[in-house]
Structure formats: C-alpha cells, structure tokens
Amino acid sequence: MKTPDKTNASRLLDKQKIKYELITYEVDEQDLSATTLAAKMGQNIKMIFKTLVLRGTSTGVFVCVIPGDTELDLKLAAKASGNKKAEMVAMKELLPLTGYIRGGCSPIGMKKNYPVFIHNSCQQFNSIYVSAGKRGTQLKLNPQDLIRICNATVEQLVS
C-alpha cells in the first residue's frame, strides 16, 4: 500500500508536531457526501466532519466544521460568528477563497486564516476525520489538536 501524498494541511500539522494519520479512499465524483465517505472508510458518520465555508453579513468569510450526518443551522452559525445572517459561499468562490475544491476542503491550511467554528460534538471523540485538503484523503486527528491548529471556537452549530 502506497503512502498517501502529503497535503498543505498535513505539512502544517507536521510543522506543529501534531499527531495525525492520513487515510485515503476511492473518490466517487458523483457522490462526495460524508455518508458515502463514512461507509467507504467503515467509520462512524458522527466522527467524519465536513468543512463548510460561509459569508457573514458583517464579519465576512468564516468556516464551520460539523458532523457529516448533520445540516448546518445558518442562524446558529451566524450567531456564533457574530453576524445577523450568514450564507454558504458560492461553489465558484471556494477555490479562490480557500485554495481547496468541493469535497477536498480542509479547515487547516486555507489561503487565509478565516475564523473557524467547530461543532461541540467533536469533543466526545478521541479522534475525528476532516478533509486533508484534497479529494480522496482524510486526516484522522485528535479534535483538541484540530481546535488548537485552527484556533477554532467550539459551538453548537446544528439544531
């Protein structure tokens, strides 16, 4: 089995001496859902976190990291980020804003250091999975390490 290629996110973790595992999986371009990913990896969907990029009415771009089996509550996300309202950024804006594409967006190593909010359920696990920054590769790491490297705020983001 070949060793997965390093990504920007994994290089940043190396630099900070944070322990992680790179996990690869077969990408289905037609189905990039976290549910499918969890099934392919044989993991609990509640441990697979998806990275969503939003824009708030007053603070601009911010990032939410939530369990793969949940839907982001835009009102809770807006409140957590200090906005009256927030909406998902358009798909075409994702790469220019973050340096990542849909299905391969990591909360670690974006082009800019956007505010990151992570759902509080991450704290019930010793490790969680987030995108490593490219489709087909996930990072398995301790949620406290993710919170630290992203300077994330832990919030209730789903209702």
If you ran DSSP here, which 8-state letter would residue 47 be given?
G
Superfamily of domain 8-155: YbaK/aminoacyl-tRNA synthetase-associated domain (3.90.960.10)
Q: Residue 31 contacts by C-beta under 8 Å, 6 or more apart in sequence?
A: none
Separation of alpha carbons 48 and 156, rounded Å: 17
State how beta strands 116-119 and 20-24 pair.
unpaired
The runs of H, that is alpha helices, within 60-103 are 74-80, 91-98
Integer angstrom CA distances of residue 53 from 19, 21, 40, 58: 25, 24, 24, 15
Q: Average pLDDT of 120-144? A: 96
In the chain, the DSSP E strands lie at: 20-24, 49-56, 60-67, 86-88, 116-119, 128-134, 137-141, 153-155
Q: Sorting pLDDT into bands at 50, 70 and 90, what band is 141? A: very high
Residue 4: per-residue pLDDT: 72
pTM score, whole prediction: 0.94
| 69-128 pLDDT, tens digit each | 999 999 999 999 999 999 999 999 999 999 999 999 999 999 999 999 999 999 999 999
| 12-65 pLDDT, tens digit each | 999 999 999 999 988 888 888 888 888 888 999 999 999 999 999 999 999 999
Residue 6 pLDDT exceeds 90: no
